[in-house]
Amino acid sequence: MSTDTSYPHNLKKVRKKQFSRLQDGLFLDHAGSTLYAASQIQSFSKDLQENLYGNPHSGNPSSDITKAIVHQVRCTVLTHFNVTLDDYDIVFCPGSTDALKMVGQYLSWNKGDSFVYLEDNHTSIVGIRELAFEKGSKSYCLTLPRPCSKKSSITPFTLSHYNMQSIKIPQFSQNGSSHDKSLNLFAYSAQSNFSGCRYPLNWIDDVQKNGLPQVEDQETACENKWLVLLDAAAFVSTSKLDLKAHPADFVCISFYKMFGFPTGIGALLVKKESCKYLSRKVYFGGGTANGYLAQSDYFKPREILHERLEDGSLNFLDIIALKYGFDALKKICGPIASVQEHTFALTQRLYRGFQEMRHANGQPVFKIYSHSNFDSRVTQGPIVTFNVTRDDGSYVGFNHVVHLASSRNIHLRAGCFCNVGACSAHLALDPQQLQHVYESGHVCGDSVDLVEGYPVGAVRASLGYMSTQDDVDQFLAFLRECFVQTTTINEIFYDALSEPERQQTDEIVLEKITLYPVKSCQGLDVDEWQISDTGLKYDRNWMVVNEYGVCLTLKRHTKLTQIYPHIDLKRSKLVLRAKGHGSIEVPLDCSRSDSDHVTADFCHTKVCGDRIVGLDCGPVASQWLTQVLGENASLVRKLPDARRQSKRKNGVAQSNGAHEHHLALTNEAQYLLLSRGSLQRIITAMARSDAPEKDEKRMDTDSIAARFRSNFIITGAGAFAEEAWKSISIKTSEGRVTFQCVGLCNRCSMVCIDQATGQRSIEPLRTLGTLPPSEHIVSEVQKIPSKRRNHFGVYLRGSNNVCTVRVGSHVTPVQEESKVKI
């Protein structure tokens, strides 16, 4: 085979044939899950269609075939790691987390034994300390002294450099072990899922022979038994693990991180000599007993470890699928060493691109979190973890980076990646401060990314075997376009201030009213409209769901911009129109008897992830939507009596039962208000910024306003004055109606979608992220002024009074005495 047709030189053809779904996007989250090849799925599907597989416990012909294949797959897995069934047993389980939990649950812990783990470990390893504590064993965390820089003589690759920190010490284990020799477990990751740091595999042999002197004196360490648990899930996705050379006692594997599919199967590899230490299993399930009696307390377990630990019927079809994963990996890449060479070369290219990128004033664009200079594949895996900094040194929130990336269909991961230890160490987060943030309500995956101006997480870009140089270069081009500043922040901001604009006048007027009858579809502008106890009447009362009952949102389905709703009050109809598809009508009001119930998740987030029950509007609407959107879809109306609780009260996210203000299908609040003066400020800043797309610089205020999807637009207020308001009242014929201001709207990549065309861009989110917030803004978690802006628009909560608001009505604001919460 010539060089030009071998891996990785053949990747252009491979990508086209095996990964065509990557044509319009960049996938840089291989540390989360790599991608499956098309041939892998096709071969597995063909196998299932042509062969009959039965439960391996049944003992019939189809069962015997399944049992034989499962045995062969065990051999294939072990061969991949250069060992056989004579060296290791392999226990199949749902994933690497379950493999780790098995060790913690079944290890023969005793009083006085020790569990030791590195600070840089996945949550699933750290959680073992609870199981050790339950059995009376001690837990310790090994940490590096602070600060530990790349130039420091203290490195993460030498165990003696670590300090021991007691974490959980049961009182009854203070006096040492209850048996002559203690049993100790040391757990670490071959590759950090946070930074890609690769820890020495020779630690395995060192600890097994010599123990850890930080935990006990050297004489005692040699007498006691030390076992090593290796988390290899991240490492083996792109590298060869030779268990013959580095025989860890326990090794956890996640197959979807190796070849993308199946996702429901992992493995615990157990060295044969160490099987005896997994003896604390209490429960016995189907297939794990050689014999037992129901009428008396008799149970005889299976002799082979995997037969004792694999409760119930195996996930045998997914195990069969593993064969095709290994086949695809071998056919596409050849030796796994080729994958390591290729991915490391790409990682170096990405890292150097980061290093070279500078703002106009010479300041770096990125803060990279690593213990190395990416000069050796031995110490660094295919991960670059970073935060973006502005030219004044302030940080860009990682959520803002990910939102902008999403607007370009770039797939990243942000946060701490289930590795709080490495996250807090690299970001120099004080544990007490971090605990306070958690106690204040912050949870992993929410909108909090900066505390007191400093990040509480990072952005991770990770590469896989099918990643290419073009992927790296396109990602670097995106970062350069979005974050390298040729105009300083102050110039953008103060130039925007100097532009002539409408300042605060004596009268603030309601200029525009918009409702969105169908969630994520076009808005309907009205001159006057009735308000209800959930917001504008009929606002977001319908949604479009796919064949699985999941709500389609504009962020993922931009064709929703083609659908224009209209409310015909006289005929009591909702009319939907789309160019080239005519129109359909459905009743405005319906009862439970009018249609079948459907249940759908309308939003898959921790903030607005309520479940709702709605009414399917029928096959005519479904057929029409399917034609317009090009995928199976149905129209669902919320039940008239259905009430969801508002997510916000006075700027604070609320838990269930906190108050009685209700929502229809909106995400967080009943109403959203924008100011014309604030919109103009953003337009001015965009024109002054480095926006590369000329058409974006020429966006008019109405085009920008449509992207923010507000219910009310006011005119006459100064730029961002609304962010300091406690409430507003709007004059109506029924009297003044009051709306409470309950927080600011955090913005995501949704605002990068042109509401007229459905096309994506990076504006106005890019410019929004360069503007400093108003001085009166304070984060509920931070308690001090925020260092950046990713919010725009004010959430409102109305009263339950039924009245009608009209365009041209006078608006009276009430100033907030304290700082506004976001």
Q: Is the pLDDT of residue 290 over 70?
A: yes
Confidence class of residue 780 from pLDDT cuts 50, 70 and 90?
very low
Quick check: is 42 in a domain? no
| 113 and 246 share one domain | yes
Specify the number of domains making up the chain.
4
d(CA 709, CA 704): 9
Q: Which of 762, 785, 683 is nearest to 483 (CA)?
A: 762
The domain boundary residue, chosen from 614, 646, 678: 646
Q: What are phi and psi of 747, to 5 degrees?
A: -105, 145
Residue 182 has pLDDT above 50, yes or no: yes
Query: What was the pLDDT predicted at 488?
Result: 62
The predicted model gives 458-462 an average pLDDT of 99
Asked if 640 and 673 sit in the same domain, the reply is: no
**Is the pLDDT assigned to residue 426 strictly greater than 90?**
yes
Contact 309, 270 (CB under 8 A): no
Model pLDDT for residues 250-269, shown as the tens digit of each residue: 999 999 999 999 999 999 99
* Residue 222 CA: distances (Å) to CA of 8, 182, 186, 669: 47, 11, 15, 63
The chain-wide mean pLDDT, for the chain, equals 88
Average pLDDT estimate for 800-810: 90
**Model pLDDT, residue 782:** 43
Q: Which of 93, 416, 418, 590 is catalytic?
A: 418
In a domain, 256, yes or no: no
* Peptide bond before residue 147 is cis, with ω within 30 degrees of 0: yes
Please tell me whether residue 352 adopts helix, strand or coil conformation: helix
Average pLDDT of the residues in 745-752: 89
Left if phi > 0, otherwise alpha if psi is -120 to 50, otherwise beta: which for 441?
A: left
Query: In the beta sheet, which residues pair with residue 459?
Result: 386, 414
751/600: higher pLDDT: 751
* pLDDT at res. 691: 57
Same domain, yes or no: 673 and 642: no
| Separation of alpha carbons 658 and 742, rounded Å | 14
pLDDT number for residue 390 = 94
Q: Which helix (H) or strand (E) holds 66?
A: helix 61-80
Give the pLDDT confidence score for residue 607 in this predicted structure: 30
Place of tokens 């949604």: 543
Interior angle at CA 394, CA 389 and CA 399, nearest 5: 65
pTM comes to 0.87
pLDDT of 596 over the 80 cut: no
Report the CATH number at residue 799.
Answer: 2.40.33
| 393 CA to centre of own chain | 26
Question: Binning pLDDT at 50, 70 and 90, where does residue 96 land?
Answer: very high
The DSSP symbol for 749 reads G
The burial class, CB within 10 Å (0-12 / 13-18 / 19+), for 81 is buried
Q: With 60 as the cut, is the pLDDT of residue 231 above it?
A: yes
Asked if pLDDT for residue 767 goes beyond 90, the answer is no
How does pLDDT run across 482-537, given as a tens digit for each residue?
Answer: 999 987 655 555 554 544 444 566 699 999 999 999 999 999 999 999 999 899 99
Query: Token digits for 166?
Result: 């007691």
Q: How far apart are CA 753 and CA 551, in angstroms?
A: 18
User: Cα dist. 141→117, 185, 205 in Å?
Assistant: 5, 12, 20
As a whole number of angstroms, the distance between CA 821 and CA 654 comes to 13
**Does 477 share its domain with 505?**
no
Q: Which residue has the higher pLDDT, 775 or 40?
A: 40
Q: Are residues 549 and 464 in the same domain?
A: no
> Do residues 347 and 368 touch, judged by C-beta distance below 8 A?
no
H helix intervals, 631-785: 676-688, 694-697, 701-708, 765-768
Of the candidates 115, 223, 131, 229, the one whose C-alpha atom is nearest the C-alpha of residue 179 is 223
- For residues 202 and 128, the answer to whether their CB atoms sit within 8 Å is no
The Cα–Cα gap between 453 and 799 comes to 36
Strand ranges, E, within 129-172: 138-143, 163-168
pLDDT at 331: 97
| Beta-carbon contacts of residue 435 (< 8 Å; ≥ 6 apart) | none
Amino acid at 392: D
**Structural domain contains residue 356:** yes
pLDDT of residue 487: 72
CA dihedral sign of residues 135, 136, 137, 143: positive
Contact 230, 250 (CB under 8 A): yes
Under the banding of pLDDT at 50, 70 and 90, the label for residue 783 is: very low
In this prediction, residue 2 carries a pLDDT of 46
Residue 150 confidence class, pLDDT cut points 50, 70, 90: low
Question: Is residue 411 predicted with pLDDT exceeding 50?
Answer: yes
Q: What are phi and psi of 181, to 5 degrees?
A: -120, 125
- Residue 638 belongs to some domain of the structure: yes
Q: Give the pLDDT band (50/70/90) at residue 625.
A: very high
pLDDT band at residue 786, thresholds of 50, 70 and 90? Answer: very low
Based on the domain organization, do 477 and 506 belong to the same domain? no
Give the pLDDT band of residue 772 (cuts 50, 70, 90). Answer: confident
**Is 342 part of any domain?**
yes
In a domain, 18, yes or no: no
pLDDT tens-digit series, residues 642-684: 666 665 555 545 544 444 678 888 888 999 999 999 999 888 8
pLDDT above 90 covers a percentage of the chain that reads: 70
Q: Which residues contact 103 (CB under 8 A, 6 or more apart)?
A: 128, 185, 229, 250, 252, 268, 278
15: enclosing H helix or E strand:
helix 11-18
Q: What residues make up the domain containing 395?
A: 338-489
Cis amide bond preceding 200, omega within 30: no
pLDDT surpassing 90 at residue 604: no
Q: Do 621 and 713 lie in a common domain? A: no
- Assess whether pLDDT exceeds 70 at residue 807: yes
Phi/psi at 529 (5° precision): -160, 150
Cα(742)–Cα(769) distance, rounded to whole angstroms? 22
Looking at residue 410, which CATH number applies to its domain? 3.90.1150.10
Per the model's pLDDT, the better-predicted residue between 767 and 329 turns out to be 329
Residue 418 appears among annotated catalytic residues: yes
Query: Do 458 and 547 share a domain, yes or no?
Result: no
Helix, coil or strand: residue 75: helix
407 and 306 together in one domain: no
Residue 494 domain-assigned (yes or no): no
> What's the confidence (pLDDT) of residue 179?
54
Residues 469 and 590 in one domain: no
Same domain, 815 and 687: yes
Residue 327 lies in a domain: no
Nearest to 97 by CA among 245, 268, 293: 268
Q: What single string gives the DSSP state of each residue in 405-459?
A: HHHTTEE-EEE-TT-HHHHHHHTT--HHHHHHHHHTT--TTSS--EETTEESSEE
For residue 712, the cross-strand partners are 513, 673
Q: Which pLDDT belongs to residue 781?
A: 41
Q: What does the pLDDT look like over 714-738, one tens digit per residue?
A: 999 999 999 999 999 998 888 899 9
Asked if residue 279 and residue 391 are part of one domain, the reply reads no
CATH of the domain at 227: 3.40.640.10
Q: Reply yes or no on whether the pLDDT at 363 is more than 50.
A: yes
Q: Residue 418 burial by CB count (10 A; 0-12/13-18/19+): exposed, middle or buried?
A: middle
